[in-house]
A and B are shown apart, each in its own frame.
Chain A
Amino acid sequence: MSTINLAVNGQSVSGEVEPRALLVEFLREQLRLTGTHVGCDTSQCGACVVMVDGKSVKSCTTLAVMADGCDVTTIEGLADGADLHPMQQAFMDNHGLQCGFCTPGMVMSGLDIVNRHGNDLDAATVRRELNGNICRCTGYQNIVKAIRAGAKAMGG
């Protein structure tokens, strides 16, 4: 077992993990942060995307020990109480989710797209950048719309 110390959603946490434990297992099973989901185990679907030190990472293919000393943000860390983050709000306003399972990963990837491409996003960029996230419900159109609207709202 290894001891890891990290910040999750602004809180310092530590835990004992097996070397083979995945970051998503640590988040879901030890911290009970079940908003981050596992959809495929092969880093294809993106339901498990979290932010590690400001960059989007697939937590199903990251070892928990690799997050030692890092700053991790999950879907639970975005809102201010019940007040949604602008990106979350944009998903609601644009019907960017149906079953909700891929949604946390979509929102985190949306934030990462904003970080890298700014607040004025065209649809083609968002569609291309979402290549690592799969949704079976929405047909993507409203997710693309939501991320563009969320990006704009984040820019003020």
Chain B
Amino acid sequence: MQENGIGASVRRKEDQRFLLGKGRYTDDINVAGQTHAVFVRSPHAHAVIEGIDAEAAGAAPGVVAVLTGEDLAADGIGPLICGVTVTSDDGQPHRAPAHPALALGKVNYVGDHVAVVIAETLAQARDAAELVEVNYRPLPAVASTAGAAGEGQQQIHEEAPNNICFNWPFGDKAANDEAFAGAHKVSSIELVNNRMVTNPMEPRAALGEYNSGTEEITLHMTTQNPHVHRLVLAAFNQLAPEHKLRVVGPDVGGGFGAKIFVYAEELVVGWACRKVNRPVKWTADRTEAFLSDAHGRDHVARAEMALDENGKFLAMRVYTTANLGAYLSTFATMVPSYLYAFLFAGQYATPLIYSEVKAVFTNTAPVDASRGAGRPEATYLLERLVDVCAADMGLDPAEIRRRNFIPKDAFPYQTPVVQCYDSGDYEAALDKAMELADYGGFGARAAAAKNRGKLRGIGFSSYVEACGIAPSAAVGQLGGGVGLWESAQVRFNPTGNVQVFTGTHSHGQGHETTFAQLVCDQLGVPFENIEVIHGDTARTQFGMGTYGSRSLAVGGVAIAKACDKLIAKGKKIAAHAMEAAEGDIEFAGGNYTVAGTDKSMNIAEVAFNAYVPHSYPEGVEPGFDENAFFDPMNFSFPAGTHICEVEVDPATGEVEIVDYTAVDDFGKLVNPMIVEGQVHGGIVHGIGQALLEGCHYDADGQLVTASYMDYAMPRADNAPDFKVDYAPTDPPHNPLGVKGCGEAGAIGAPPAVINAIANAIGAKHVEMPATPETVWRACQAEARSA
């Protein structure tokens, strides 16, 4: 192993520039002649636009243009699309109402885009936006997830009767019903998965530049997937031909899913810069981010488990209503379907699973993937239900999990919900977590807490997540419009340093470091001589981007494959240079050696020979630069057990997380320091959902949580230090032996926290976010019923 190779907690290459204030995020970029865009947004959740008077705005100081949906349509710019088809129970594809980037006659949520004002300065654009007069005729709004498809509800889109996007049944209902009919016991739960706003700290931004000489548009923007943005903007929105559109995601200040999607603003900026033939810049303020970033979660669900007399799970059924918002965001349909129901097996050998998902439109912001995307919703539902089962059966929550775990010798394990898990040892993670959390000592700690007037509880969450979505053929069969492979190019320069071009991107995960470690390990090139490049369609070959914890598990393997090709080519060059047969050349630690001799050549010398091929093997191309694509055979299945311990103050309802243990299986760790950071961040994201974060629309569809003064983000004093450890297994289909780790915390944490609170106060269920008021009310209810 190289010193800075796989397994080393190398300090991050990214940090120097970020710490010096030399990061380069989209809003940091300014160009000569730049104008500023401000969007006129709907103040109504649902209204007909009877007229737009832009005369006063157009005449205001500094205004370059005021543009509306009609201008956009007249230029042939297409509506925003949803890239995954779900077939509804009537055999038809999901209902996909038109989603214009600027409204055409109607607005469907507060914050919906009505017009854009472009002016010389940001202040002038803001002032002029106030002068755009829009004549709205308000309509009744549909704001409730559970009630959206109800009888007599206001219709939002003509194309979607009863506001239903799709009804998606999945599984063998008859067999499931039979198992329930014969069950020893049926446990059930009804719950809400609270709507969240993803909230990367850097708001979305875009800067469009048009070169009338080359007819190229360059769009700098906050993106997790520049090539996907370019593809969709070119192929579906007709912004520009793909080869005349460059999308650059410079440093990205967090994403967590929110920067995957093709939004109205970035499209409009790209179009407007050509229209006004000036660079156009737009940066969201935080309230705009709350109004118009795709939101996450927002399910109402009922789940039941059929059990035998030993507490074994016989069958499970789930009925879910999922809110997709006013329009379909780019991957909206996939989240409450394939990314959700396919996770219902969790870590358990439940033989039968049946699910029905009703996806509905409401007059709220579009809902799409947000850290975990469907998997947190599935895991929360399942792990809460398992705790209810344990209580109903009088079993310890650890014991009921253990009884139902898929045994470690059963892998590969085909679940009843499509997924075939490749590796896992769930009991090992549970055992380790219980030891680290000192489960045996919990009783004494609870008794001590009681003496202090506190209720102490402990909660488990044993999760599986499916990330690194693959293979592409399966994505296609499910109705996805893309392939989910990844690409890489590894280029030696003649002087021996290496540039690694990856089709993934980074929004904080440290790929410039992790990927350099891979290459350092494999090629034996010093870590400091390796640079990782991503995020620019003009520099990297086509790639799919970063989301779904795929960057290392998929993109890392593509890099390794490109390195393999370099090593193989280098053998030919080294054999020629050292006058040996190619078959006698061995490569290790950056050196080609002739087996059984002391003849050796460093890979940097081989690279130089390849660029200066004066004495060179016949038939071998010059250059030392290889690319590779990797389409995995399966998803990656990280798993683990999280244990949360809380103390509840029954007088105030306040919850303190006093201890938190996470034992995860991420396969092989490339940079343990970075992985642990991902675990911490994911857990706090999950704690945020469990205790603090709730996105609320009132009955009229007004967003009442549109700033950090109304939407509670987790802060430093909301969590303790975490105990983090690993129980790795080797995923046989992944050539690097790695699994994804970026979303696991956000998936594992919410049920661990709520199970702990329910355990503390003796309640069957407490809804998220478990604010002091919610918990206090639950305590009062328990006291009354006792």
B680, closest chain A residue (CB): A139
A126, closest chain B residue (CB): B716
Residues of A within 8 A of B200 (CB): 99, 101, 136
Distance between A58 CB and nearest chain B CB, rounded to angstroms: 12
Is B44 close to A, CB under 8 A? Answer: no
Is A11 close to B, CB under 8 A? Answer: no
Q: Which of A42, A76, A102 contacts B286 (CB 8 A)?
A: A42
Q: How many chain A residues touch B (Cβ–Cβ < 8 Å)?
A: 57
For the complex, what is the distance from the CA of A107 to the CA of B15, rounded to whole Å?
Answer: 13
Distance between A115 CB and nearest chain B CB, rounded to angstroms: 18
Q: A142 to B677, Cβ gap below 8 A?
A: yes
For the complex, what is the distance from the CA of A82 to the CA of B17, rounded to whole Å?
Answer: 9
Interface mask (A73-111 → B, CB under 8 Å = 1, otherwise 0)? 011100100101000100111010111111110010000
Is A12 close to B, CB under 8 A? Answer: no
Is A13 close to B, CB under 8 A? Answer: no
Of listed A20, A34, A75, A98, residue having the most chain B CB within 10 A: A98
B200, closest chain A residue (CB): A136
Is A119 close to B, CB under 8 A? Answer: no
Interface mask (B669-680 → A, CB under 8 Å = 1, otherwise 0)? 000011011011
20 new A-B contacts, CB < 8 A, other than A97-B18, A136-B199, are: A34-B24, A35-B23, A39-B203, A40-B707, A42-B286, A42-B708, A45-B286, A93-B11, A97-B19, A98-B677, A100-B508, A101-B202, A102-B201, A126-B716, A127-B716, A128-B716, A131-B716, A136-B200, A139-B680, A140-B684
For the complex, what is the distance from the CA of A95 to the CA of B714, rounded to whole Å?
Answer: 19
Residues of B within 8 A of A128 (CB): 716-717
B673, closest chain A residue (CB): A95
B709, closest chain A residue (CB): A42
Name 25 A/B residue pairs within 8 A (Cβ), A-sorted.
Answer: A18-B123, A34-B28, A35-B23, A38-B203, A39-B202, A75-B21, A84-B19, A88-B20, A92-B12, A98-B508, A100-B253, A101-B200, A104-B21, A124-B717, A131-B717, A134-B708, A134-B715, A135-B716, A136-B685, A139-B680, A139-B684, A139-B685, A140-B714, A141-B680, A141-B721
For the complex, what is the distance from the CA of A101 to the CA of B252, rounded to whole Å?
Answer: 8
For the complex, what is the distance from the CA of A42 to the CA of B507, rounded to whole Å?
Answer: 24
Is B683 close to A, CB under 8 A? Answer: yes
Q: A74 to B21, Cβ gap below 8 A?
A: yes
Interface residues of A (CB under 8 A from B): 18, 20, 28-29, 32-42, 44-45, 47, 74-76, 79, 82, 84, 88, 91-93, 95, 97-104, 107, 123-124, 126-128, 130-131, 133-144
For the complex, what is the distance from the CA of A124 to the CA of B718, rounded to whole Å?
Answer: 11
A143, closest chain B residue (CB): B716
A74, closest chain B residue (CB): B21
Q: B25 to A39, Cβ gap below 8 A?
A: no
Interface mask (B715-730 → A, CB under 8 Å = 1, otherwise 0)? 1110101100000000
Given A41-B285, A93-B11, A95-B673; A76-B707 close (CB under 8 Å): no
Residues of A within 8 A of B719 (CB): 139-141
Residues of A within 8 A of B254 (CB): 98-99, 101, 136-137
Distance between B452 CB and nearest chain A CB, rounded to angstroms: 18
Q: B21 to A84, Cβ gap below 8 A?
A: no
Given A139-B683, A142-B680; A97-B253 close (CB under 8 Å): no
Residues of A within 8 A of B18 (CB): 97, 100, 103
Interface mask (B271-315 → A, CB under 8 Å = 1, otherwise 0)? 000000000000001110000000000000000000000000000
A81, closest chain B residue (CB): B20
Residues of A within 8 A of B708 (CB): 40, 42, 44-45, 134
Is B30 close to A, CB under 8 A? Answer: yes
Q: Which of A37, A47, A84, A137 contacts B16 (CB 8 A)?
A: A84
Q: B716 to A98, Cβ gap below 8 A?
A: no
Interface mask (B11-41 → A, CB under 8 Å = 1, otherwise 0)? 1101111111111110110100000000000
Q: B201 to A127, Cβ gap below 8 A?
A: no
B711, closest chain A residue (CB): A44
Q: A98 to B707, Cβ gap below 8 A?
A: no
Distance between B244 CB and nearest chain A CB, rounded to angstroms: 29
Is B682 close to A, CB under 8 A? Answer: yes
Distance between A96 CB and nearest chain B CB, rounded to angstroms: 9
Residues of B within 8 A of A127 (CB): 716-717
Q: A37 to B253, Cβ gap below 8 A?
A: yes
For the complex, what is the distance from the CA of A74 to the CA of B286, rounded to whole Å?
Answer: 22
For the complex, what is the distance from the CA of A45 to the CA of B253, rounded to whole Å?
Answer: 14
Residues of A within 8 A of B251 (CB): 99-100
Residues of B within 8 A of A103 (CB): 18-19
For the complex, what is the distance from the CA of A102 to the CA of B203, rounded to whole Å?
Answer: 12
Q: B721 to A99, Cβ gap below 8 A?
A: no
For the complex, what is the distance from the CA of A134 to the CA of B287, rounded to whole Å?
Answer: 16
For the complex, what is the distance from the CA of A39 to the CA of B231, rounded to whole Å?
Answer: 29
Given A20-B123, A101-B202, A136-B200; A141-B20 close (CB under 8 Å): no
Is B774 close to A, CB under 8 A? Answer: no
For the complex, what is the distance from the CA of A105 to the CA of B19, rounded to whole Å?
Answer: 10
